[in-house]
A and B are shown apart, each in its own frame.
Chain A
């Protein structure tokens, strides 16, 4: 193989690796995550796919930035019960309207799809059983 191609390949891998989440694994932080306060609900957001790792759009909850969609990463927010809208924007805007009750925990997968110029990242609700299983592959990107 051409040495230039080798170097380019290694550089590309390094860029991809650096674009993925680098925090602690879910299993390492799970025990230190306290349940939400009684009057609040909790939304876990996670992105399992490394596809388009360089694309890390901001995530908005009811028009406030709550974090970024980092590949192989997860975080959570505690919010008041009611109806909420999650939104991400790359070359297109994708929204998820959802409900949340006091004490309820819900899981939102940040699904990556191929776009025209850059990938699309869309929030979608998943069953708690699915969310609890998939989030174990992710690293904590919250504060």
Chain B
């Protein structure tokens, strides 16, 4: 009789442990799901400022980039512009003149990808103009560039 009682107690302890483990696993799965569905994989968004107005000037010459340059956006991945690429004027925004090239793909990348034009002011790269979003995405800091006018 006493042996049977001992076995019963041991069995109930094992059941308790299994129940606790089950709860812990379920809690972990639920927490993981909430974290993943809430924010994971979309953590990095680029910084964007709406562009209120664009104007076009007639006398902006095209130019070539004198040397390779690495640019660090305020948020997002590093961007490399290749030396020798030709840049053509598109428009002017509050932050500077907007240029584009056909010699390489320029895109600002974070969780999503945005094809971009560059924005120049006083021979410094200020950031990027995103034509679909109509926004300006700044660099961490303005970066001097070598412009060879064509």
Q: Which residues of A contact B (CB under 8 A)?
A: 83-85, 91-99, 115-117, 120, 122-127
CB atoms of A97 and B42 under 8 A apart:
no
Chain B nearest CB, measured from A61 CB (Å)? 12
Chain A nearest CB, measured from B71 CB (Å)? 17
With A94-B112, A98-B115 known as contacts, the answer to whether A126 contacts B105 (CB < 8 A) is yes
Q: Chain A interface secondary structure, helix, strand, loop or mixed?
A: strand
With A92-B41, A127-B104 known as contacts, the answer to whether A122 contacts B113 (CB < 8 A) is yes
Per-residue CB contact flags for chain B residues 92-125 toward chain A (1 = under 8 Å, else 0) read 0000000000001101000111110000000000
A96 to B131, CA, bound (A): 12
For chain B, which range describes its interface: under 10, 10 to 19, 20 to 34, or 35 or more residues? Answer: 10 to 19
CB atoms of B131 and A116 under 8 A apart:
no
With A97-B130, A125-B107 known as contacts, the answer to whether A116 contacts B40 (CB < 8 A) is yes
Q: Which residues of B contact A92 (CB under 8 A)?
A: 40-42, 111
**Closest A-B pairs by Cβ, 4 of them:** A83-B132, A97-B132, A92-B41, A95-B112
A123 to B111, CA, bound (A): 11
Q: Which residues of A contact B132 (CB under 8 A)?
A: 83-85, 97-99
Chain B nearest CB, measured from A138 CB (Å)? 20
A98 to B105, CA, bound (A): 10
With A92-B41, A115-B41, A116-B41 known as contacts, the answer to whether A125 contacts B131 (CB < 8 A) is no
Closest residue of B by beta carbon distance from A90:
B41
Chain A nearest CB, measured from B107 CB (Å)? 6
A37 to B140, CA, bound (A): 42
Q: Which residues of B contact A (CB under 8 A)?
A: 32, 36, 40-42, 104-105, 107, 111-115, 130-133
Q: Which residues of A contact B112 (CB under 8 A)?
A: 94-97
CB atoms of B41 and A117 under 8 A apart:
no
CB atoms of A99 and B131 under 8 A apart:
yes
Q: Which residues of A contact B133 (CB under 8 A)?
A: 97
**Interface hub of A84, A94, A97 (most chain B Cβ within 10 A):** A97
Q: Which residues of A contact B42 (CB under 8 A)?
A: 92-93
A91 to B39, CA, bound (A): 11
A69 to B137, CA, bound (A): 30
Closest residue of A by beta carbon distance from B108:
A97
Chain B nearest CB, measured from A85 CB (Å)? 6
Chain A nearest CB, measured from B80 CB (Å)? 13
22 contacts between A and B (CB under 8 A): A83-B132, A91-B36, A91-B41, A92-B40, A92-B42, A93-B42, A94-B111, A95-B113, A96-B114, A97-B112, A97-B115, A97-B131, A99-B115, A116-B32, A116-B41, A117-B36, A125-B105, A125-B107, A125-B115, A126-B105, A127-B104, A127-B105
A91 to B36, CA, bound (A): 9
